[in-house]
Amino acid sequence: MAAAAMSYAHADVENLKATELRLGLPGAEESDKMPTPPSTPRAGNKRALAGDLREEEPKTAPPAAKAQVVGWPPVRSYRKSCFQQQSTKSKVSAPAPEKKQEEVAVAAVVAPPAAAGSAGSLYVKVSMDGAPYLRKIDLKMYKGYRELREALESMFLGFSGDASSVNPSDFAVTYEDKDGDLMLVGDVPFEMFMSTCKRMRIMKGSEARGLGSSKE
């Protein structure tokens, strides 16, 4: 799916990093390695949830808390997502104040789990032309465009039956931004994309040509 376009955009993102304004100490970069908790038996392949790592990114804070591990604690994600807002209300003294700032700003009204935009997750609908049903993904789960693209590929290529017969670059991943415009995914820095993306749509090549051709 617009692999060429997206990787080009990814390179752009890498260049932009150098000029990006950040609050971190010089040299304090978002690390790719997950900090492994002390005295774990073999590290295995615990995937830290990218979304949580983002919350714990030390801007001016002491070392981040333990990286969250997939499927732990063993609570269904539906349940976890129900109480994203309640959990911020119950925390009286915040040990990591940066984590809370954006969450406190969100209205403390309990929203039904179906709503997007809750502090801990950012669910957007993703549709693909020709697919029988839509999916919802949490943009906060992904550190960047590459992970997002991989997740979308694994979600949607199954619809075409034999995955090897489908060429990802036949597809373009687009999104609808706050203004209602249809944009190609990958043009803007990932963080900006996350804050403006309302929903995503994977289009077949013929429709996408007009949008992405200059990058290919």
Considering beta carbons, is residue 121 or 212 the nearer one to other proteins? 121
Burial class of residue 180 (count of CB atoms within 10 Å of its CB; 0-12, 13-18, 19+): exposed
Best CA proximity match to 128, nearest among 76, 199, 54, 213: 199
Q: How far is the CB of 52 from other proteins (least distance, A)?
A: 8
Best CA proximity match to 188, nearest among 20, 1, 22, 3: 20
Residues binding other proteins (CB under 8 A): 37, 39-42, 44-47, 65-66, 68-80, 82-83, 86-87, 90-92, 95, 110, 112-114, 125, 127, 132-136, 150, 154-155, 158, 163
Q: How far is the CB of 84 from other proteins (least distance, A)?
A: 9
How far apart CA 108 and CA 118 sit, in angstroms, is 10
Q: How far is the CB of 167 from other proteins (least distance, A)?
A: 16
Considering beta carbons, is residue 133 or 179 the nearer one to other proteins? 133
Q: How far is the CB of 7 from other proteins (least distance, A)?
A: 15
Considering beta carbons, is residue 61 or 69 the nearer one to other proteins? 69
How far apart CA 172 and CA 179 sit, in angstroms, is 20
- In sequence order, the 6+-apart residues with CB closer than 8 A to the CB of 77 are none
